[in-house]
Copies of this chain bind each other. A is one copy, B any other.
Amino acid sequence: MADIYHQIGVNADIEKAYQALTTLEGLSAWWSKTTGNTVEGGKLNFHFDDINIEMSIAQLIPVKKVVWQCVEKEGEWKDTVITFDLEQAEGQTFINFSHKGWAKQTSLCAHCSTKWAVFMLSLKDYLETGKGQPFPNDVHVNHMDH
């Protein structure tokens, strides 16, 4: 098994951070164009050029926690779980991110770890300046296909 963890401190209200993780507008502003149903149990679709990632919202604890279950039927993201834990501390909002349950440590997992950091920085920019760098305006780090 392999897990990815990131943490960022953001100079923004925790309520605003929670909105960025739980609304279609917010998610589309820092990750990628998002469609779907934003309630607990609802399905979200994140649209990229050639793929469409589907997540089920497994848990929502207002202003505290967001958990997504990846519902892909194949591929390395199958059965993985993404969690955002929010915490106010030291005059900031901290976002503790994890993407857990990878079957094993792979090249794609390492790539996604780097890429999640890129999107956490986009989320930070969105929350602090109003402008993120969602796909396809994200920083490209490339991926080794083999």
A positions within 8 Å CB-CB of B:
2-10, 87, 89-90, 92, 94, 96-98, 105, 107, 109-111, 113-114, 117-118, 120-121, 124, 139, 141-146
Contact = CB atoms under 8 A, between A and B. Distances in A.
Given A113-B113, A114-B120, A118-B121, A90 B145 contact: yes
A121 B143 contact: no
Contacts of A107: 7, 96
B142 A5 contact: no
Chain B CB within 10 A, most for which of A4, A6, A96, A109: A6
Contacts of A10: 142
A66 to B, nearest CB: 16
Chain B CB within 10 A, most for which of A4, A6, A7, A121: A7
Contacts of A143: 7, 9
Given A89-B146, A92-B142, A118-B121, 6 more contacts: A5-B109, A7-B113, A9-B142, A9-B144, A90-B144, A117-B117
